[in-house]
A and B are shown apart, each in its own frame.
Chain A
Amino acid sequence: QVQLVESGGGVVQPGRSLRISCEASGFTFSSDVMHWVRQAPGKGLEWVARISHDGSSIQYLDSVKGRLIISRDNSKSTLYLQMNSLRDEDTAVYYCAKDLGGSWALDYWGQGTLVTVSS
């Protein structure tokens, strides 16, 4: 069965960096588009970034461009989000999600990892 397990969240000071990961199993990771979606405490969902199956095509939410970087290592079936110059408003649970190829929906989600930006 499809499993997505995020890790690497924690408390970080404003302006600092953090990298979170999502380890995938139960499907052919190298064939699938992947996404990061976040949810601030008590708030709704916000799409953050998308990466094609081979990493050649990437899209970002405007407010994170230049600060958050999505990447993947298909040999490790792992998705990453490098988070730089963190701001208070980046505080959220970060979910990785698999793309329902060709149907542009998010069919499987991890449990999420909490990133708290606070001094």
Chain B
Amino acid sequence: DIVMTQSPLSSPVTLGQPASISCRSSQSLVNSDGNTYLSWLQQRPGQPPRLLIYKISNRFSGVSDRFSGSGAGTDFTLKISRVEAEDVGVYYCMQATQFPWTFGPGTKVDI
């Protein structure tokens, strides 16, 4: 199975300041079709997860442009350009290149 790791696991942030979360996979996420199936999800307290980014850098419908994704191979990053109060929650990276799909342990973002 592909193991996903994230850092930091906890990130106190300041409103209006940028934040960054790193995600690393135990093997390359480049699929045989040439695509890299790495996505980012946000889970606010008491809520189900919500898709933010798919295929490394594609923002999902309705997601603020303050969120951006980048990376390649085994190293990926989620950036929040200016943190807002509503961004508090846990952020997960997820790989869908190989079954079983696996998630990172989550990064808790709080103010």
Q: Which residues of B from 66 to 111 have beta carbons under 8 Å from A? A: 90, 92, 94, 96-97, 99-106
- Asked whether, in the complex, the Cβ of A106 is within 8 Å of the Cβ of B51, the reply is yes
A-B complex: 9 closest residue pairs judged by Cβ atoms: A105-B54, A104-B96, A109-B48, A47-B101, A105-B39, A104-B37, A45-B103, A59-B99, A44-B106
- Bound together, the chains give a CA A103 to CA B56 distance in angstroms of 11
Residues of A in contact (CB 8 Å), total 23
- Bound together, the chains give a CA A61 to CA B101 distance in angstroms of 8
Q: Which residues of A from 66 to 119 have beta carbons under 8 Å from B? A: 95, 100, 103-112
A-B contact count (CB 8 A): 67
Residues A44 and B94 in contact in the complex (CB < 8 Å), given A59-B100, A100-B51, A100-B54: no
Residues A46 and B103 in contact in the complex (CB < 8 Å), given A95-B49, A109-B48: yes
- Asked whether, in the complex, the Cβ of B105 is within 8 Å of the Cβ of A44, the reply is yes
- Asked whether, in the complex, the Cβ of A103 is within 8 Å of the Cβ of B49, the reply is no
Jot down 26 A-B pairs with beta carbons below 8 A, ordered by A: A35-B101, A44-B103, A44-B106, A45-B41, A45-B106, A46-B103, A47-B94, A47-B102, A47-B103, A50-B101, A59-B99, A61-B100, A95-B48, A95-B49, A100-B51, A103-B37, A104-B54, A105-B37, A105-B54, A105-B96, A106-B49, A106-B94, A108-B51, A109-B48, A109-B50, A112-B48
